[in-house]
Amino acid sequence: MYGPSFECWAIHFLKIKTDKYMVKVNKPQTISIAVAAKLVNFPGGEIKFFLWLREKGFLLQDNTPAQKYINYKWFVLVKTYRIIGKIKTLIPVTRVTLRGLAGIERAVKKAFPGNKPCI
């Protein structure tokens, strides 16, 4: 959807906001885990990123975040509803905050030091 230059800009923009200024907002900006995989330049794609997050303890088996990282404000659970016929079902969706993106980026760099960063 977006090119590599956008991803590099987004990483740079988010890094400035999270590392230097620690922006305080009432409703934090969040991104999907799939987009976070692209922004942190994870080698292997989205599905392997989910597996890696589970292996490292960031996510539980059902892809909900560990309570520790919810308390750190790295992840939030967003309520979404799925309607099948006349039944409305609540489905929690895990989203990554800007603070979480910076933390995950550091963890990815530590785990994959040979991974080339965006230029």
Could you read off the pLDDT of 16-73 as tens digits, one per residue? Answer: 444 444 444 445 589 999 999 999 989 888 999 999 999 999 999 999 999 999 999 9
Beta strands in the chain (DSSP E): 30-32, 75-84, 87-97
What pLDDT score was predicted for residue 117?
A: 53
Share of the chain above pLDDT 70, in %: 72
**Per-residue DSSP letter, 21:** I
Other CB atoms closer than 10 Å to residue 55's CB: what's the count? 10
Question: What residues contact 56, with CB distance under 8 A and at least 6 apart?
Answer: 107, 111
Distance of CA 39 to the CA centre of its chain: 9
Question: What is the pTM (predicted TM-score) of this model?
Answer: 0.70
pLDDT band at 97 (very low <50, low <70, confident <90, very high): very high
Closest to 74 in 3D by CA, of 51, 55, 57, 91 = 57
